[in-house]
Structure 1
Amino acid sequence: MSTPTQSTPTQSTPRRTPAALTIRALLLLGLSAAPASAQDTITTPNPTGQPAFAPQPVTYPSAAAAAAAAQTYAEQARSTYPKGSANIDQVLWTQAANAAEAAVKAKPGNADYLKLRAGIYTEVGFWRQAELGWAAYFKVVPVVAGSPEARQAGAAQYNLGYAAYSRSQPDLAARYFTECLKLDPKNAQCAGWAARTALEGSDYARAQTLYTQALALTPGDRSLLYFQGLAQKASDYGPAATQAFSRAYADLDAGRKDRALTGFQAAALSAPNFNEAWRQAGRLALEAGNAQAALEAYQGAVALPAADASDKFNLALAQEGVQYGLDAVRTFRAAYAQYASGSKAAAADGFAQATVQNPDYAKAWSWLGRVRYEAQDYPGAAEAYGRAVALDPNDKPSAYFLKLAQQGK
């Protein structure tokens, strides 16, 4: 596991299509640095109340002519719009979809036309329509798991599953991810997310099986290993804590750090033996500059047998941060590191900066006095030591060197 001061790995999410969506498509949230904008047209349930894409009727001399037009529009769209931006609201893609619908309407049982239509919806990321399109195709052509067509159909199921997950519909998400694996058994993303929904649903045995399957497809994946370990320990934490942690991790992936912090705190409070929940809460609290929340989190972590040196280090940082402010403490610690490495001039600047950030930081004044004294800047050392002693009369070493500095020796 990574230390509390490092970010944990992320699980991959669908691709992003940057074009703006109208009411004909729903914009999905993403979980990673490059998430998808899946155009989800599910109408039951449909939390935003937006209607599905409705193809406009167009007339062609024949089904073949309509299919040819769909292919032409699609080729023009690929050459016209930026790579990766395919979207149903782009005019050429809309025309391609309308033409493909016309071809299917003219000859509903033609496998080539059904495949063309499903492929267009898949390419533009219009996942609900893609799902329906592939279902219609597979009624005519038996599905072959792992075939190019099945993989495209699996992509639709995957994105619909992620859409459901982002709407907090875990049962629906699990169904989509399971269907994706039936279509594309080698899809590691579907295996990973199917495992995640099983984990959150307290089906820990299935979650471990699915994580093993996903890791067999992508050996060494840090995110999968991370959650596989969580699945193995989940029964020790209980369903409430496990689900809160998993959802917090999703929020963290999506950049919703405030929500992630709240979720990790909830997981830790629900299961006080959940070391990683305490650590994640502490790390986020430190990052947000919330010393009090970090203190509470690392107190929880350090109280457990699995506590390590980094937990204790961060606890001390949080304790000082509550008293003097995290910025001043971090500046002081960086200056101390420079001092230890022999960069005493830089250390002096750092200690001085820490005293500016918090004029009541006695230890910073004391160390500022020390570097000045070692540089034989006795007036400057006397000034710094004097402030240190005034703030902490029990600081005997500072009092001793204050007298020496005042005597210039």
Structure 2
Amino acid sequence: MKKVSYVATLLAAMTLNLAAAQTAPSTTTPNTAAPNTDAPLSAAAAAQQARDLAEQARTTLPKSDWNIDRVPWKQAAAYADQAVNAEPNNPDYLLLRANIYTDVGFWKQAERSWDAYLALKPDDNAARSKAANVQYNIGYAAYSRGDLVSAPLFFQKCSQLQPDNVACLIWNARVALEGGSYADAQRLYEQAAQLSPNDKTVTYFLQVARNAGKYGPAATTAFSRAYEAIDKGDKAGALTLYQQATAAAPNFLDAWREQGRLALELGNLLAATAAYTAATALPGASAADRYNLGLVQEAQGVGLAAVQAFRAAYSQYAAGDKAAAEAGFIKATQLSPKYAKAWAWVGRTAYERKDYPAAASAYGQAVALDPNDKASAYYLKLAQQGK
């Protein structure tokens, strides 16, 4: 066997130490090592490590990056668990652990942690509020994956922890509504309305719950899911769901209205026309439904943007802001040069401020586009005569 000299051995050791020094973290880097389970810290020391690491995570990481897999959070949770394991009935350590798991959105561990803490401190209202929020998030996750059996259990527990939590009442009501439990849905929406009387969404869905028996679960569920899709910014998906709702229940007036409104936002004139045509044919149709039907029918000839500009200008005119109205009517003619009614109103606003040449020009356009417009023809002559 070849003998290795002492010098060679020493050089090899120095080389290894140098490599380690080049790759090891700086001594100023915060401690991110896992708790040493071979030589565990005292409960107090572990809890302090958890606090320090949690504070480091809160101050150095954006909230969007708060999750259990990020090293400061992961180690904070591990130290908090170590402290709790050492002293399971210490409320300070239980609270520390519960807050850490809540901050990172590790909901099931947060639930377990709050349950343990509240078993010792049931009257801590701040903790009950946070625990209720955890139940809300678990319930919403269940709802999102279509688990309408488990979801209400979490929302109910949320309400038990914090009876004035409107969000939990609303979502418990929505699950009941989609599950066909219309009486429960109505009761829960009524409770939410008492707590938040100015919440228009609650009032709206309370009415939906009261009428849900007329429409059936398929239409009601599609309607509810469409509302959620809008909240998430998925307007195209929401329109499809509203269409599913009216396909399942052609007498669902609110679904036709929402379908028409959304179709207008998306510039889908075909869908908007179908929706408002159906809505105006139902009992309970309003003047707004008829107004919107007229809007989409008019838009088929001159374009939606032009009609919307014209109607906005007309509202300004009715409110007395004639300068803004005239600018709006002109905008409508620019968007659709063949928009006879818009030209007539450009003529009217110009005539009222006694700009007769401008009035004559606009009225001339209106009459050329619509020879049957007797009013424009009359004012055209007056404008041409300067009176």
Q: Which protein is richer in helix relative to its size?
A: 2
1:162 deviation in Å? 1.1
Give the AA of the match of 1:352: I
- Equivalence map 1:144-159=2 (5 Å): 144=122, 149-159=127-137
1:203 deviation in Å? 0.7
Larger radius of gyration: 2
Is the CA contact 1:146–1:184 (under 8 Å) kept in the aligned structure 2? Answer: no
1:362 deviation in Å? 1.2
Partner of 1:205: 183
| TM-score, normalisation: structure 1 | 0.74
Aligned: 1:122 with 2:84: no
Within 1, Cα distance between the matches of 2:354 and 2:115?
83
| Partner deviation per Cα, 1:296-344 (whole Å, 9 max, x = no partner) | 2222222222222222222222221222112211222233344445554
Give the AA of the match of 1:369: G
Two-structure CA RMSD over aligned residues (Å):
3.2
| TM-score, normalisation: structure 2 | 0.78
Aligned: 1:330 with 2:308: yes
Q: CA 1:207/1:142 → structure 2, altered by over 3 Å: closer, same or farther?
A: farther
Partner of 2:74: 94
Aligned: 1:282 with 2:260: yes
Say which of 275, 278, 281 aligns to 1:300: 278
Q: CA 1:144/1:260 → structure 2, altered by over 3 Å: closer, same or farther?
A: same
| Partner deviation per Cα, 1:343-390 (whole Å, 9 max, x = no partner) | 545443332221111011111122223334445545444433333233
Q: CA 1:91/1:306 → structure 2, altered by over 3 Å: closer, same or farther?
A: same
- Equivalence map 1:390-405=2 (5 Å): 390-405=368-383
Give the AA of the match of 1:320: E
Give the AA of the match of 1:254: K
Within 2, Cα distance between the matches of 1:118 and 1:376?
74
Give the AA of the match of 2:297: Q
Is the CA contact 1:145–1:184 (under 8 Å) kept in the aligned structure 2? Answer: no
Within 2, Cα distance between the matches of 1:61 and 1:225?
55
Say which of 235, 238, 243 aligns to 1:260: 238
Is the CA contact 2:91–2:121 (under 8 Å) kept in the aligned structure 1? Answer: no
| Partner deviation per Cα, 1:121-155 (whole Å, 9 max, x = no partner) | 123322122124345667xx479488655544332
Q: CA 1:107/1:371 → structure 2, altered by over 3 Å: closer, same or farther?
A: closer
Give the AA of the match of 1:349: A
Within 1, Cα distance between the matches of 2:179 and 2:321?
54
SS state at 1:171 partner: coil
| Structure 1: runs of 5 or more not aligned | 1-54
Give the AA of the match of 2:259: A
- Equivalence map 1:7-406=2 (5 Å): 56=34, 58-59=36-37, 60-78=40-58, 87-106=67-86, 113-134=93-114, 141=119, 144=122, 149-406=127-384
Give the AA of the match of 1:70: A
* Aligned sequence identity (%): 57
Deviates more, 1:257-266 or 1:357-366: 257-266
Within 2, Cα distance between the matches of 1:202 and 1:229?
15
Deviates more, 1:122-131 or 1:230-239: 122-131
Q: CA 1:370/1:119 → structure 2, altered by over 3 Å: closer, same or farther?
A: closer
Is the CA contact 1:174–1:197 (under 8 Å) kept in the aligned structure 2? Answer: yes
Give the AA of the match of 1:214: A
1:243 deviation in Å? 0.6
Give the AA of the match of 2:277: Q
What is the aligned residue count?
A: 353
Within 1, Cα distance between the matches of 2:323 and 2:191?
55
Partner of 1:17: none
Q: CA 1:297/1:143 → structure 2, altered by over 3 Å: closer, same or farther?
A: farther
1:247 deviation in Å? 0.8
| Partner deviation per Cα, 1:101-133 (whole Å, 9 max, x = no partner) | 233455667666455423321233221221243
Q: CA 1:407/1:211 → structure 2, altered by over 3 Å: closer, same or farther?
A: closer
